Structure 1
Amino acid sequence: MFRLFQRPIPLALLLAFLTAIPVLNSLFLVFQIPTGDYPKASAHLGAAPISWFVHVLAGFAFGITGPVQFVRALRHRFGRLHRVSGRIFVVSGVIIGLSGLSILAQVTPVRTIMVDIARGVFGVVLLIALAMAMMAVRKRDFVRHRAWAIRAYAVGMGLGTVALVFIPLYIITGKPPFGLLSDILFVVTWVLTIVLGEVVARHVSRSRPQVLPVSA
């Protein structure tokens, strides 16, 4: 299984597949939020339009740059591009975490408190993971840096796997999953995504050190 994560193209394609739904949704919302023409299911988020818009814009950037960051050829052959993409990844991740917490503070919950608690905890964990990734790269500990970047991506894009679970349920039942059981499934799916990211990060941490080119 883990040999897949040592091959850059399959890994990037897998990550792109897992996060395609939230990335595309964010792209649509970037144009819908300013006009107010967003889905009724998201109408409650209109109470915090600026935080919501910034959140989805950063989510799009985070989702696009994430898979690219784990392509080995980009890191070794195009070090400068990797660093630029990495800065976008980190900045957008920080914005996701902060704007998500801002939305929680402004918007009246429509789900059980469990979901809001999970969102708040995951937002803080995302910020911590990004901070640890930056601390590692400043020490030129690139294996540890990559492991924390994987953790950050798993947390930040956990909604991708949630969507992969909820969309089939929507197709089967004909209506969006809602209620206590769906909220439990929502949180459990996100947690499992984070657990998978942790397993991969630990595997990466046991690999041999990687040396990246020094900035010019």
Structure 2
Amino acid sequence: MLRLLLRPIPLILFLVFFTAIPILNSLVNVFQIPTGTYPEDSARLAVAPLSWFVHVLAGVAFGITGPVQFVRALRQRFGALHRVLGRIFVVSGAIIGLSGLSILAQVTSQRTPMVDIARGVFGVALLIALALAMAAIRNRDFQRHRAWVIRAYAVGMGLGTVAVVFFPIYLVTGQPPIGLGSDILFVASWVLTIVFAEVVIRRSCRAHPKAFE
């Protein structure tokens, strides 16, 4: 399975599948927030409308441009487009990280401190990963650049795995799961995404050391 995911097309399809729910949800929020038609379980975020809006808007851009960055043919044949999309990816990722931290500071949490700490750590980690990705590409270190882009995408879209785990529960119960057990599962799902990304990076580097160029 992992060997299959090291190939560009299966990897992209995998990323699209696991990020579809948060991207679609963010896209819906982009229209709901200005009109005030968001669901009741999201109403608490209305205390920070600007941060919430730019967070979901950037999430859509980040989620869509992320998988495209891993298309080798795009990098090789349409380098200018790859660079433009890369800048959109970095800017939207930075907005996600900063707005996420802003929301965390303004909105009253409904979860345990563990989740709030994790959100804060992941927000800072996303900003660091993006900065290191940019530093690597300036040094023409393509392999390290791609590795940090993958890490940034895993951190920024870690909610994709959370959504895959929690969405079926939401469909059955009609409300998001709460409690210590669900919070542990929430953080564990996000961490699992990051761990998986690290495994993909290490396997890719060993199997195709020049594939990132």
TM-score by length of 1: 0.94
On the 8 A contact 1:51/1:102 being kept in 2, the answer is yes
Partner of 2:177: 177
Q: Deviations over 1:142-169 (max 9, x none)?
A: 0111011000000000001101000122
TM-score by length of 2: 0.95
On the 8 A contact 2:146/2:212 being kept in 1, the answer is no
Deviates more, 1:35-44 or 1:203-212: 203-212
State the alpha-carbon separation in 1 of the partners of residues 202 and 209 from structure 2: 12
Partner of 2:16: 16
Structure 1 residue 210 displacement after superposition: 4.8
State the alpha-carbon separation in 1 of the partners of residues 142 and 13 from structure 2: 22
Counterpart mapping for 1:32-51 below 5 A? 32-51=32-51
Please state whether the residue corresponding to 1:170 is helix, strand or coil. Answer: helix
Please state whether the residue corresponding to 2:122 is helix, strand or coil. Answer: helix
Please state whether the residue corresponding to 2:171 is helix, strand or coil. Answer: helix
Percent of aligned positions that are identical = 75
State the alpha-carbon separation in 2 of the partners of residues 167 and 123 from structure 1: 23
On the 8 A contact 2:130/2:149 being kept in 1, the answer is yes
Partner of 2:4: 4
Amino acid at match of 1:185: L
Tell me, which stretches of 5 or more residues in structure 2 are unaligned?
none
Structure 1 residue 209 displacement after superposition: 2.9
Relative to structure 1, the CA distance from residue 6 to residue 193 in structure 2 (aligned partners, 3 Å threshold; closer, same or farther) is closer
Please state whether the residue corresponding to 2:178 is helix, strand or coil. Answer: coil
Alignment of 1:138 with 2:170, yes or no, is no
Partner of 2:153: 153
Amino acid at match of 1:47: V
- The size of the alignment, in residue pairs, is 212
Q: Deviations over 1:9-41 (max 9, x none)?
A: 221111011100000001000000011110111
Partner of 1:83: 83
Q: CA RMSD in A?
A: 1.4
State the alpha-carbon separation in 2 of the partners of residues 164 and 2 from structure 1: 19
Q: Deviations over 1:172-200 (max 9, x none)?
A: 44542111111111001101111111111
Partner of 1:99: 99
Deviates more, 1:196-205 or 1:83-92: 196-205
Partner of 1:108: 108
State the alpha-carbon separation in 2 of the partners of residues 92 and 83 from structure 1: 14
Relative to structure 1, the CA distance from residue 76 to residue 2 in structure 2 (aligned partners, 3 Å threshold; closer, same or farther) is farther
Amino acid at match of 2:150: I
State the alpha-carbon separation in 1 of the partners of residues 209 and 80 from structure 2: 23
Relative to structure 1, the CA distance from residue 62 to residue 131 in structure 2 (aligned partners, 3 Å threshold; closer, same or farther) is same
Please state whether the residue corresponding to 2:152 is helix, strand or coil. Answer: helix
Relative to structure 1, the CA distance from residue 3 to residue 49 in structure 2 (aligned partners, 3 Å threshold; closer, same or farther) is same
On the 8 A contact 2:63/2:157 being kept in 1, the answer is yes
Structure 1 residue 201 displacement after superposition: 1.8
Partner of 2:209: 208
Structure 1 residue 4 displacement after superposition: 2.4
Amino acid at match of 2:60: F
Please state whether the residue corresponding to 1:98 is helix, strand or coil. Answer: helix
Amino acid at match of 2:209: R
Please state whether the residue corresponding to 1:87 is helix, strand or coil. Answer: helix
On the 8 A contact 1:101/1:120 being kept in 2, the answer is yes
